[in-house]
Amino acid sequence: MIKLYNRLGLALLLVIPAAWGNTPAENLAEAVRFKTISFQDRAQIDYQQFDALNSFLTETYPRVFSQLQVESVSEYSWLIRWPGTDETLSPILFTAHTDVVPVEPGTEGDWSHPAFAGIVADGRVYGRGTLDDKQGVISLLEAAEQLLAEGYQPTREIVFAFGHDEEISGLQGAGVIAQRMKALGLEFDWMVDEGGLVLLDSPVLPGKSLAMINVAEKGYLTLTLTAQGAGGHSSSPPRVSTIGSLSNALAKIEANPFAPKLEEPVRTFLETLAPHVDQPNQFLFNNLWLTDWLVASQMAKETLTQPMVRTTTALTMFNAGVKENVIPQRAEAKVNFRLLPNDTPEDVIAAIEAIIDDPSITVSHDRWNQRPGIADMQGSGFEVISAAIQSVYPDAVIVPSLLQATTDTRHYVDLARNQYRFHGTQMKPEQTASIHGTDEYISIASLEKTVAVAAAMLRLGGAR
């Protein structure tokens, strides 16, 4: 009997928060209050915060966590399966992550509201993770909870994967979830991760909404350049020092950026945009067979559009010397590249070695990850996401696009034939700077639309 009471008590505890009907904004604000911060040095991570967030999610979305097949992976990540009625159809996957980046020390006071207070004010939810990516987790769970309450039953299996370390490579979260999926024999028709959004009033489409479904992402490569030479006393210096030769190599690299070029999916992005823009852009975008070189070189001149048309080069680290009167025997620098979808790391290394043209400089690199390819811009996944967007943002111009950052998506390369990146969040271009920056917030209206898009994607994706 006591056991029964306990169970009843537990059941009530689980049901009450849903019965109270907290709004998505209140739930997101609460989720922000758990400091699930990923630090590069894993020893600094407070895993109790992840446990507490997970307990909160379990209590807040009782239908999801009791009616679906829930597995915790690597202790803090989630793999959640919602079986479909037709087992012959391959499942679809929706992913997001629960960890956030730290607030840069010294910038805490620049926030309108403390970054982890979870403040709801002025029609907005403020805090670290409100855009990246707790709104992704919350909106998918809100949508699933809502559909379960309605008695919705998918025809095609729906799977959710919520990693806990996306901001520091995702190896323990998405990486281990992917291994578990392989062991389970899961193969997805398509998947949707974070990384696409609805831009309001963007420079390419002033006054309108631009829904960007990212069908590809840029590659990531860091090269380490090392110069070695004779050291010694600074009173009798060599003709060329290690610092001098390395600086010379870096100056050549910076002076020789990769040539701009117009490739997929950016070509289709511009062609899709063409009917909605003014002249002369309309003509230029409609005739890329003739104008692509001109469009690429124009886009390369703007900071905002440059990454879409070239493999970018960023000099990020330089280390040499220990004392002002000692010639260093070794100087080392790091250069970070973001690759266009068709450029390979081998291409970049060969090009950089040719530019440096100095046998005394050694070029090395870490092992690179598998890269997602370009997803089908007409396939059923793209159609489902587009229809979901249309149902919530009837006036939005929907385009396939290229994500400039990287996400957890690469961990699922072998598992999903087509990988898309999109959350139905609407924002102005300026607001994107708050992601990993200061004053991150989501408007309540935008969060509600994100939930509506998530629900439409689940409903439409699960139906066929």
Helix ranges, 174-320 (H) = 174-184, 242-255, 266-273, 281-286, 288-301, 306-309
Nearer to Zn ion, 421 or 459 (CB): 421
Q: Is 166 a catalytic residue?
A: yes
Size of the residue set binding Zn ion (CB under 5 A): 3
Q: How many CA atoms lie within 13 A of 301 on its CB side?
A: 5
Nearer to Zn ion, 371 or 459 (CB): 371
- CA geometry: angle at 326 spanning 322 and 329, to 5°? 75
Q: Which is nearer to Zn ion, 131 or 253 (CB)?
A: 131
Please tell me the distance from the alpha carbon of residue 4 to that of residue 294, in angstroms, as a whole number: 74
d(CA 219, CA 346): 12
Q: How far is the CB of 297 from Zn ion (least distance, A)?
A: 32
SS3 state of residue 15: helix
Q: Please name the amino acid found at residue 40.
A: Q
Nearer to Zn ion, 74 or 406 (CB): 406
Question: Site residues for Zn ion, window 192-231 (CB under 5 A)?
Answer: 194
Determine the 3-state secondary structure of 264 from DSSP: coil
Minimum separation from the CB atom of position 95 to Zn ion (A)? 10
Pairing of strands 197-202, 426-427: parallel
To Zn ion, the closest distance from the beta carbon of 190 in angstroms equals 20
Piece of 80-88, 190-198, 229-237, 256-264 that binds Zn ion (CB under 5 A): 190-198
Q: What is the DSSP letter of 37?
A: B
Regarding 165 and contact with Zn ion (CB under 5 A), the answer is no
Q: For Zn ion, give the closer residue by CB, 18 or 168.
A: 168
38, 240, 273, 412 from 270: Cα distances, Å = 36, 48, 5, 28
CB closer to Zn ion out of 14 and 405: 405
Catalytic residue among 30, 99, 194, 440: 99
The least distance separating Zn ion from the CB of residue 197, rounded to whole angstroms, comes to 12
Is 366 in the active site? no
| Least distance between Zn ion and beta carbon 385 (Å) | 18
CA–CA separation, 306 vs 266, rounded Å?
12
Can you name the residues that pair with 192 across neighbouring β-strands? 94, 420
Place of tokens 């809100």: 142
Options 188-196, 224-232, 264-272, 336-344: segment touching Zn ion (CB under 5 A): 188-196
Question: For residues 121-160, which are near Zn ion according to CB under 5 A?
Answer: 132-133
Minimum CB separation of residue 167 from Zn ion in Å reads 7
Dist. CA 424–CA 214, nearest whole Å: 12
Question: Near Zn ion by CB under 5 A, which window of 186-194, 238-246, 299-307, 438-446?
Answer: 186-194
In a 13 Å sphere around the CA of 143, the CA atoms on its Cβ side amount to: 28
The active-site residue out of 30, 133, 142, 166 is 166
| Footprint of Zn ion (CB under 5 A) | 132-133, 194
Q: Catalytic residue positions?
A: 99, 166
